[in-house]
Amino acid sequence: MNVLAAPTPLKVSIAATVVSLLLVLVVFELIRSRRLRERYALLWLLTGVVLLVLSAWRGGLNTIAGWFGIRGYPPAVLFAVGLLFVILVLLHYSTVISRLSDQNVILAQRLALLESKLSERDE
Amino acid sequence: MSAETAQRRIAIVPAYNEAGNIGRVVDELRAFDPELDVVVVSDGSADATSEVARAHGAHVVTLPFNLGIGGAVQTGFRYAWENGYELAVRCDGDGQHDPSELPKVLAPVVAGDADIVVGTRFGGDDSFRSTAARRIGIRMLAAIVSLIARQRVTDTTSGFQALNRRALGLFAADYPHDYPEVEGMVMTIKHQLRLQEVPVRMREREHGSSSITAFRSIYYMAKVLLALFVGLFRRTIPTEGA
C-alpha cells in the first residue's frame, strides 16, 4: 500500500525532529523555573512528544500517511497533527480563561463587600 | 498530650462540603487536647461548613472559591505561620483521621526527632476500599518517592501530618497544588528536613467516597510524575534554621 508513497525527505525529518525536541526542552525549562504549571504543561509536552516521535520515526510517518491516503507528501501528517494539538491547547485555554474570569468576578465582589464593611465600621 | 511543652499548636483542617462531619471533627480535636487551636479552611464549600465549624469553636478561613486541596492546606499553613504557631498538625475534614492517634504523629516532632511526621495507614499502604488503579498508583508513587528520598516511605497520600515551625515555614512559602502530599514529601527531603512516618489507625470515610475516578487517576499520575521529575532539577528555597 505504501509502495506509491514518496518517503519523507531526510532534511524534513531532521528539521522537524530538532524543532519538536526544542519544544519539549523549552516546556521543561518553563516548568522547572515555575513559569508554567504542570497542569497546563501536560498538553504541551504531549504535543512535543507526539511530534517528536512522528518526526524521528520516518517509517511510522509514512505508514500513517498511507492510512489517511496521503500519497504525495507524508510530512503533511506532521502539519495536521500539529494543528490538531494547537486547536486542543487553545480550547483548553479557553476553558481556563473562562474559569479565571469567573473567579475574578467573585474576588472583586468579595473585595468590594469587605471594603464597604470596613468603611461602615469606621463611620 | 499534657502541658509538658508550652509550644503553641494548631490543627489545620481543610474541608470541602463537610458540614456533616466538620462539627464532630472540631469537637474531637478540641476535646482531645484543649491547648490545641483549630483552624478550618473551607475550600469554597457550598454548604454550611464554615458556619458549623465556627459554631464548634474553630477559627475559620473561608476561601471564595475552590482552590483544590493544595491551595486550601497551604492557606492553613500560612495562617499557622503568620500567627506564630510552633507546631501544626494537619488532618482531613471528613473524619478519616482519628484525633486519638495524634500523639503518635506529634511525638517525634515534639521530641525534636523530626521536622515533619506523616501518619501512614496501618499495614503499609491501603486498607481501604479503593479502585485498583488508585492502589497501583499509591504503590508506584511510594516506590518512586522512596527512591528519590533514599528513605522508605509507604504512604505518599496521607494528609495526617505533624510539622514543626521549620516545615511550616517551607510549606507556607511553597506548597504543591494538585496532589500535594506526594510532592510535599520530596520537597521535604530536598530541603533536608527530617521526615518520619509513623503507622496510625485511620477510619473509613463516612460521608461520600473519594472522588478519584480511573481517568483522573491516570491524569493525576502523569501530572505528579512530571512534577516529581521536574522537581529534581529545581533549586531549593532557604528555610528558617537550616
Question: What CATH number is attached to the domain comprising B37?
Answer: 3.90.550.10
Beta carbons within 10 angstroms of residue B18's beta carbon: 28
Question: Three-state DSSP class for B123?
Answer: coil
Contact at CB, A32 and B64, closer than 8 angstroms? no
Residue of A nearest to B230 (CA): A32
Set of cell numbers at residue A108: 472583586
Q: Does a structural domain hold residue B1?
A: no
List of residues 6+ apart from B55 with CB closer than 8 A: B23
Q: Does a structural domain hold residue B239?
A: no
Q: Does a structural domain hold residue B242?
A: no
Measure CB to CB from residue B65 to each of A28, A38, A106 and give the nearest one.
A106
Contact at CB, B230 and A31, closer than 8 angstroms? yes
Q: How many domains would you assign to chain B?
A: 1
pLDDT tens-digit map of B43-91 = 999 999 999 999 999 999 999 999 999 999 999 999 999 999 999 999 9
Predicted confidence at residue A22, as pLDDT, reads 96
> Can you tell me the distance from the alpha carbon of B123 to that of B155, in angstroms, rounded to the nearest whole number?
10
pLDDT tens-digit map of B170-202 = 999 999 887 788 899 999 998 999 999 999 988
Contact at CB, B230 and A42, closer than 8 angstroms? no
Nearest CA to B185 among B135, B107, B120?
B120
Mutate one of A25, A33, A38, A49 to test the B interface: name it (highest B CB count within 10 A).
A38
Residue of B nearest to A99 (CA): B65
Residue ranges for chain A with pLDDT beneath 70 = 1-5
Q: B64 to chain A: which residues are within 8 Å by CB?
A: 103, 106-107, 110
Average pLDDT over residues B128-157: 81
> Can you tell me the distance from the alpha carbon of B150 to that of A90, in angstroms, rounded to the nearest whole number?
41
Q: Does a structural domain hold residue B64?
A: yes
Residue of A nearest to B220 (CA): A39
Q: Please tell me if residue B223 touches chain A, with a CB cutoff of 8 Å.
A: yes
Phi, psi for residue B63 in degrees, rounded to 5: -80, 140
Domain ranges, residue B139: 9-231
CA distance B33 to chain A (A): 34
Predicted confidence at residue A5, as pLDDT, reads 54
Nearest CA to B195 among B158, B227, B230, B231?
B158
Predicted confidence at residue B117, as pLDDT, reads 96
Contact at CB, B234 and A32, closer than 8 angstroms? yes
- Beta-carbon contacts below 8 Å between A and B: 29
Q: Does a structural domain hold residue B236?
A: no
Residue of A nearest to B222 (CA): A42
Predicted confidence at residue A47, as pLDDT, reads 94
Predicted confidence at residue B129, as pLDDT, reads 53
**Hey, what amino acid is at B13?**
V
Predicted confidence at residue B239, as pLDDT, reads 66
Domain definitions of chain A by residue range:
2-90
Per residue, the 3-state secondary structure of B89-158, as one string, reads EECCCCCCECHHHHHHHHHHHHCCCCCEEEEEECCCCCCCCCCHHHHHHHHHHHHHHHHHHCCCCCCCCC
Q: Does a structural domain hold residue B225?
A: yes
Asked whether the predicted pLDDT for residue B12 surpasses 50, the reply is yes
pTM of the model: 0.84
Residue with cell 473551607: B42
Average pLDDT over residues B135-159: 87
